[in-house]
Amino acid sequence: MAFLELANLTKRYGAAVVVNGVNLAIDQGKLVCLLGPSGCGKTTTLRLIAGFAVPDGGEIRVGSRVISKAGAAKPPERRNMSMIFQSYALWPHMTVFENVAYGLRLRRLAEADITKQVGAILDVTKLGALAQRYPGELSGGQQQRVSLARALVVKPQILLLDEPLSNLDANLREEIRFEIRSLHDQYRYTTVYVTHDQTEAMTTADVIVVMNQGAIDQIGSPEDIYKRPLSEFVARFIGGTNIFRGANAGNDHVSADGVVLQCGSGEFGPSGETAVSIRHHDVKLSETQPDFTSNVASAMVERQIYLGSHRDYLVRLQTGATVRVVSDVAVDIPAGRQVWLYFPPEHCRALAR
Amino acid sequence: MSLNAETAAETAGLRRSIDLSRPIFGLLALALCVLVILPIFWLAVYSLQNDAGEWTFENFVILATDPTILRAFGLALLMALGVGILATAIAAPMAWLAARTDLPCRSGVRILVTASFVTPPFLGAIAWEILAAPNSGIINGIYRWLFGLEADAYFVNIYSFPGLIFAIACYTFPYVFTLVANALERVPSDLEDASAILGASQLTTLRKIVLPMVMPAMLAGSLIAVLQALTMFGTPAILALPAGFHVITTKIWSLFQFPPQPGLAAAAALPLLLITVILLRGQKWFLGRKGYTVIGGKSGSARITNLGVWKWPAFAFVAFILSLAVVFPYAALLKAAVTTNIGEPLSFASLTWQNFNFVFFEFDATRLAIWNTLVLGISTACIVTILVVVISYLVVRKSFPGSSILGFLATAPVAIPGIVLGVGLFLSYANPVLMLYGTLWILLIAFITIEMPAGYQQISSSLSGMHPEVEEASRILGASRLTTLRRITAPLLKTSVIAAWCFVFIGTIRELSATILLTIANTKLVSVIIYDLNESGNLGAIAVLGLTLLVVSFAVVIIAHRVPLIARG
């Protein structure tokens, strides 16, 4: 039985439906990422779980006890959760030690226990030497680790993270990303992590929940989401892809943009329209015509960029549509040259949505 | 077990969001309406009634035809314009010198400007009486002595229209100075570097880049100076009345002298209110134009211009202005405080404690006035602070739709000149039902209304600088709403709350424009006593009281500035 359940959860702000009938079950100890573009309702969902917002419909249950339902919610302070905020929300008038000790003091622990536990978590987050500093005296990465320590030290039932890395620069982001995952492996708190960054989601999550326009589009492991997208939105949002839109020609074939594509996987639309997705690096580029009857198109190189580990091509089909191809550096064809594209069927995925 | 019982058990601990903020909002909205709208309402009603209580436009007809009132309006507008121009002409160059050049003693300049800012304008006017009255003025005495002139010869006469403009400008130029200096400091040096790299000389850059960028701030500052001059009562009453003319504020006051004409006073107050609202709109427009805000945050600090040979002439200019505004007047007050006759030269033999003795021990009225001033200052500061903290919290945290109306009401009094509010409050509370006239209560109401906008701006800006997540972080870790307020919000707001309290207190103890219409013998305040003593010519006592007021004000300003240091430790 799932530990944290969202059942038909709905939230409106005025006429806008921000969260629209979300159903989600999260098992104990899992790290789930809510992933989606800004305005998709992921942060509102998180705030509903935290109890900062009251739903307009549906329920939130923890261990089968209802904690939120339409018009009523258990206040955040009685949910035994903790949260890491986008702005870190460190209290500037308290030292690092006092910030981290705050939650334990509220739980009326003995001062000796507080010192011990805070000391332990500060060591884990490499902040031991900074205990007596004020937040204003720390770098961005250190502040982020204080907010991690402050959230973890209270041993929450559920840990919530709201875009925790968006204020850090690229190097730190990568470092803390792995740190969050390793802390999760260590403590195994049930965690909900909100982000718009797919790399962040793929590094940290057990399960990724892709959200779009207030609703869940797809739930799955990072590999599911990347390799087996169910919709055009997910295929485009995770990893980037070429989309062909065309008519279902029967027998796993789709004809689009003057190309007949045999699809190795996916679901076809019930009638007519079907989209086909193929990742940039799965398209094969050559100057000679490949020896296949379908999944082949002739095109012209419009632009080529050398990126060290690979080359990034933009090629134009005869119909005018463009295709992006990522190829090995060895494939070096200058712009303006006629080329052949091959779309291997095992990488062509039909998308019903 | 029935299904109902089960749901009840399952959902135990869930809270319907009961909103305490709703009744609080209602109460506050009502209180603010009483404070802000009621006086304006009665003002409008009285202006449209004659003595018999019949509806009529009579008052406005008189207003438009009585030459003495029209003349008072005209002179007031001319005076305000003159003050605006003079204040800008001296403050803008000073601000540039203090903010962007290697002028010597720049921090000293700022301290003296602050001193001018804190000085109650009516006190400055009295100091200038001591210095530049045609007969007894110290400057004219020295002038006659130097050139061996007759006793009726004089060099300067403060009891004149130019004298009035000068005396007001001395204490309003800090508004322009502060706004322009701040704007200059916010022009990042790379904007000037960008101009220089394209080939502009320093002077061209100043003219084409820096000046246009600070222009809105300068115009906004000038408008405030104009507004201050237009609505000021004390200085014109002290300087214009002996010179034999009225401005609009003194004219409104005179309409309350015997025989009182409250209807006409109300009618005369309304155009003043209208002009104030228009000027404030203009100021907002100047400051609010998007194109003038500096885009991008990470820019170098302001660049300092090397004055070269102009260093000492520039210093002389600044020193001269500050001597006129602060050094000479303060010296004159000090001298008046320790001598009996301001005309005679200062010597050890002429030193006396008599004025101090008179003010603090002999003259009953001052002791009562000091007591009243303290009581009102402290209670106004406390009430306003509590009010604006609650209002700011509701508005900034957007507790529910419509809470922003409270913010509007709390800032609205900024557009009500003191004398207009005085008339409005007199009309609202000097009737048989609410007989508050002649009590300290009516003064308390007036001061709360007058000081609310400044307090509100202080608190709401520091509250909106505080991310709501700071409070949410405390909630999710297990603290209730109240615990969060006590342990997170309150400590973080402490500094600005103390600062707001201090500024409200200072504003209250120097208020004269509204007070003058609302006091009687039992409810005199220090500011009114100073005004009364001026009428009777007791300059020594005024100087002592004035200096006391200044010392208290400066002490409070220093506390307010010190607070951040205390809060940290």
Nearest to A103 among B17, B470, B478 (CB): B478
Q: A83 in contact with B at a CB cutoff of 8 Å?
A: yes
Domain boundaries, chain A: 4-227, 241-351
Structure tokens given for A41: 């309702």
B8: Cα separation from own chain's centroid:
58
Helix (H, G, I), strand (E, B) or coil at A212: strand
B464 and chain A: CB distance < 8 Å anywhere? Answer: no
Sign of CA dihedral B397, B399, B400, B406: negative
Residue B446's pLDDT is: 94
Cβ atoms within 10 Å of B488's Cβ, excluding its own: 23
Paired strand residues for A243: A277
Interface touch A69/B11, C-beta < 8 Å: yes
Task: Identify the CATH homologous superfamily for domain B57-293+310-346.
Answer: MetI-like (1.10.3720.10)
Pairing of strands A215-220, A242-250: unpaired
What would the mean pLDDT of A187-193 be, rounded to a whole number? 91
Beta bridge mates, A33: A193, A208
Q: Is A154 helix (H, G, I), strand (E, B) or coil?
A: coil
Q: Which of residues 87-116 of A touch B (CB under 8 A)?
A: 87, 89-93, 102-103, 106-107
- The verdict on B20 touching A (C-beta cutoff 8 Å) is no
User: Looking at residue B207, what DSSP letter applies?
Assistant: I
Assembly ipTM: 0.80
Q: Please, are residues B524 and B372 in contact by the beta-carbon 8 Å criterion?
A: yes
Structure tokens at B155: 């060099």
User: Which of A211, A162, A220 is closest to A22 using CA atoms?
Assistant: A211
Categorize the per-residue pLDDT at A34 as very low, low, confident or very high, splitting at 50, 70 and 90: very high
Class of domain A4-227: alpha beta
Q: What is the pLDDT of residue B76?
A: 95
Q: Give the max Cα distance, chain B.
A: 112
Give A-chain residues touching B567 at CB under 8 angstroms. 93
Torsion angle, alpha carbons of A106, A112, A117, A120, to 10: 150
Give the HSE-up count for residue A93: Cα atoms under 13 Å, Cβ half-sphere. Answer: 18
Contact list in B for residue A77 (CB cut-off 8 A) is 475-480, 483
Task: Give the DSSP per-residue string, B63-123.
Answer: HHH-HHHHHHHHHHHHHHHHHHHHHHHHHHHHHHHHHHB--TTHHHHHHHHHHHHHS-HHH
Report the 3 state secondary structure along B405-444. Answer: HHHHHHHHHHHCCHHHHHHHHHHHHECCCCECCCCHHHHH
Q: Do A89 and B15 touch (CB under 8 A)?
A: no
Nearest CA in chain B to A87: B469
Bond preceding residue B39 cis, omega within 30 of 0? no
Give the Å distances, CA to CA, from B388 to A78, A119, B385, B495. 31, 41, 5, 14
**C-alpha torsion B94→B98→B102→B106, nearest 10:** 120
Contact A69 B13 (CB under 8 A): no
**Which of B14, B477, B480 minimises the CB distance to A103?**
B477
What fold is seen in the domain B21-52+353-569? MetI-like fold (1.10.3720)
B482 touches chain A (CB under 8 A): no
Query: What's the pLDDT score for residue A260?
Result: 81
Residue B65 has phi, psi (to 5 degrees) of -115, -25
Dump pLDDT digits (tens) for A228-255: 888 889 998 888 888 888 887 777 788 7
For A74-114, what is each residue's pLDDT tens digit? 888 888 899 999 888 899 888 999 999 999 999 899 999 99
**Is residue A75 within 8 angstroms of chain B, CB to CB?**
yes
Q: Which CATH code of 3.90.25.10, 3.40.50.800, 2.40.50.320, 2.40.50.140 fits the domain covering A241-351? A: 2.40.50.140
Q: Identify the pLDDT of residue B567.
A: 40
Residue with tokens 């003050």: B83
CB B535 within 8 A of CB B524: no
Question: For the segment B543-560, what is each residue's pLDDT rounded down to a tens digit?
Answer: 999 999 999 988 888 887
Q: Does A269 touch chain B (CB under 8 A)?
A: no
Residues of chain B with pLDDT under 50: 1-11, 290-291, 293-299, 565-569
Buried b (16+ CB within 10 A) or exposed e, A147-164: bbbbbbbbebbbbbbbbb
pLDDT the model gives residue B301: 62
CB B476 to CB A50 under 8 A?
yes
- Determine which of B7, B10, B11, B14 to mutate to test the interface with A (most A C-beta atoms within 10 Å): B14
* A132 touching B (Cβ < 8 Å): no
Cβ distance of A83 and B17 shorter than 8 Å: no
Asked if A83 lies within 8 A of B480 by C-beta distance, the reply is no
Q: Where are the domains of chain B?
A: 21-52+353-569, 57-293+310-346
Distance from C-alpha of A245 to C-alpha of A314, rounded to nearest angstrom? 18
Please indicate whether, in this complex, the C-beta atoms of A67 and B492 are within 8 angstroms of each other: no
Q: Does A65 touch chain B (CB under 8 A)?
A: yes
Question: Do B21-52+353-569 and B57-293+310-346 show the same overall fold?
Answer: yes
Q: How far apart are CA A244 and CA A257, in angstroms?
A: 7
Cα B341 to Cα A251, B327, B362, B544: the distances in Å are: 115, 20, 19, 14
Residue B16 touches chain A, beta carbons under 8 Å: yes
Name the residue among B14, B488, B491 with its Cβ closest to that of A74.
Answer: B14
Cα radius of gyration (chain B): 27
Give the chain A residue whose CA is nearest to the CA of B488.
A91
Task: Tell me the angle at which helices B161-186 and B67-100 cross, rounded to the nearest 10 degrees.
Answer: 40
From the list B10, B16, B475, the residue facing A71 with the nearest CB is B16
CB pairs under 8 A between A and B: 93
CA separation for the pair A48, A61 (Å, rounded): 11
Which positions 106-135 of B are in contact with A (Cβ < 8 Å)? none
Does the pLDDT at position A211 exceed 90?
yes
Residue contact B475–A68, C-beta within 8 A: no
With beta carbons less than 8 A apart as the criterion, state whether A150 and B474 touch: no
Rounded to whole angstroms, the Cα distance separating B82 from B70 reads: 18
Q: Helix, strand, or coil here: A23? A: strand
Task: Please answer yes or no on whether B476 and A76 come within 8 Å at the CB atom.
Answer: yes
How far, in Å, CA of B186 to CA of B181, rounded?
A: 9
Determine the residue of chain B that is closest to A151 in CA distance.
Answer: B477
Which is nearest to B68 in space by CA: B255, B231, B238, B232?
A: B255
Which residue in the set B10, B14, B474 is minimally distant from A73, CB to CB?
A: B14
Average pLDDT of chain B, as a whole number = 85
